[in-house]
Amino acid sequence: MRIVHYIPDFGFGGIQKGGCVLAASMAKMGHEVQVIGRAGGLRYEENLGSNLSHRVLDGEKTEALVNVILEYAPDVLHIHQSTYNEVLVAQLSDSLATKCPTLVTSPVFGRPPKQFSTLNRTQTCCVGVYSFYRMCKWLNISMEQAVKLGIGYVPITPLEPCSLNILANDAPETVAARRSELGITKDAFIVGRIARNTTSKWHSDSEVLIETLLSRSPKIVWLSVGYPDELGRERLQSKWGKRFCNFPQTADYNFLCQVLACMDVQVFFSRHGECFASTICEAAGIGVPTIGLCTPLTDNGQSEQIVEGVTGMLINSIEGAIKAVESLLDSPVTLAKLKASTHKYAYDKWHVDRVSTNLLELYLFWISGNRKKSDYVAQMQREYAEFADNYRQRVAKLMGTNPLSHTLWLGLTAAVESWSIFCMGRSLKQVLQRT
């Protein structure tokens, strides 16, 4: 199969990483694959091999992209962008009808297109079960209708294989040596997070969370990559010294793996959440469970990735995060079991070769005109049904501290599954932020 993955550029983001990593895996499986981006960057590589190439397009004209794709003549063109690029989809679907019969879009932010007719021009690969579930709700269609319309999902930010060679549950002397390289004492209980150094990726209360954690136990050390200056980095370093250890944002994946493998637990504390968080996925691959803040009124993909007692714990507040950390600090046996189950779950669900295999099966399903039987589509339907059966109740139970608030959260969670209500809430929030 000849496949093109089109990404915004070859920069630092998860969209770019997902496209590049999937392309490499598919090429390894014997497919001819090209990654096309509008600009260069950290993820661009030369001399990748006979059946994998990266190509940078200069300029912004869609015609140039169309010509390059026509020249390559792929069986599948997969567009990875934050939302539907409806103008691009329209032009490509008109130009490539005979040259590339299967056009696939991954709207990574999980929003439906402004013109719903766009769905008839492209197949849609949502990022994870949560985004697929929410897309169905926003389009007001059933899961069965979505599959017929050409909508499916895989976790597009896959676990890279090299992270499986280094584990948070390695021998104590191995972990101690890693920590020593970072200047951290071997017997510390390390809590931390990896994210980009933009405040949008961190909760505004992150400083309070870290301060509270460090004050609760002298054993706790905070370890992060990308903690923003705007959230009190210098003050935390000045007050806590070596107990607050932060490194600048980096794309050095081996270093990020080394940092993650020093942690006991990750705290995913973000105001807006994620549709699908690569930091949860990558940490899990190294055996680091995540304590994640539930954000049901915005993006809440962490509710899919954090399986209670398997890959971590979903919490509703700073105090909830503190209690979860302390429970693991007090029970090394529980923590060791959680690290092991986290790693196994990540390998089974998010390993890049597994994701690529499932995505390739989706391609073939779509190429067949939705007539070909597919084991993965059947699996996708089972996973959707399981998630949909308990999502609202799970969130309401977590967020509601009494029967009244439980009922309120059931209603709020149901409300934001309406596209019009979600958009109204987002617009209101933007107005309030400007005032």
Question: Residue 420: pLDDT above 80?
Answer: yes
d(CA 192, CA 225): 8
Domains of the chain: 2-158+351-384 (3.40.50.2000), 161-349 (3.40.50.2000)
In whole numbers, what is the pLDDT of the chain averaged over residues?
Answer: 91
Task: Check if the beta carbon of residue 312 is closer than 8 Å to that of residue 289.
Answer: yes
Q: What order do you get walking across the sheet with 52-56 strand by strand?
A: 52-56, 32-37, 2-7, 76-81, 102-107, 123-127, 151-154
Q: How many CA atoms lie less than 13 Å away from 404 in the CB half-sphere?
A: 0
Model confidence pLDDT, tens digit, residues 8-59: 999 888 899 999 999 999 999 999 999 999 888 888 998 888 899 999 988 7
Model confidence pLDDT, tens digit, residues 379-416: 999 999 999 999 999 999 999 989 999 999 999 999 99
Helices (H), 230-374: 233-240, 253-260, 278-285, 302-305, 318-329, 332-350, 352-367
What are the C-alpha distances in Å from 246 to residues 107, 170, 227, 233?
A: 32, 23, 7, 8
Residues forming a β-bridge with 154: 127
Determine the pLDDT at residue 341: 97
Percent of the chain with pLDDT over 70: 95
Give 120's DSSP letter: G
Q: Which residues contact 339 (CB under 8 A, 6 or more apart)?
A: 167, 168, 169, 287, 288, 289
Model confidence pLDDT, tens digit, residues 238-288: 999 999 999 999 888 889 999 999 999 999 999 889 999 989 999 999 999
d(CA 82, CA 295): 20
Model confidence pLDDT, tens digit, residues 314-371: 999 999 999 999 999 999 999 999 999 999 999 999 999 999 999 999 999 999 876 6
Question: Residue 418: pLDDT above 70?
Answer: yes
- In this prediction, residues 121-146 reach a mean pLDDT of 95
Give the residue among 72, 88, 144, 154 at the shortest CA–CA distance from 360.
154
Determine the pLDDT at residue 424: 87
How many Å separate Cα 286 from the centre of its chain? 16
Q: How many CA atoms lie less than 13 Å away from 66 in the CB half-sphere?
A: 15
- In this prediction, residues 105-134 reach a mean pLDDT of 94
Give 302's DSSP letter: H
Confidence of residue 163 (pLDDT cuts 50, 70, 90): low
List, in sequence order, every beta strand (DSSP E) within 169-274: 189-194, 220-225, 244-247, 265-268
- Which carries the bigger pLDDT value, residue 170 or residue 426? 170
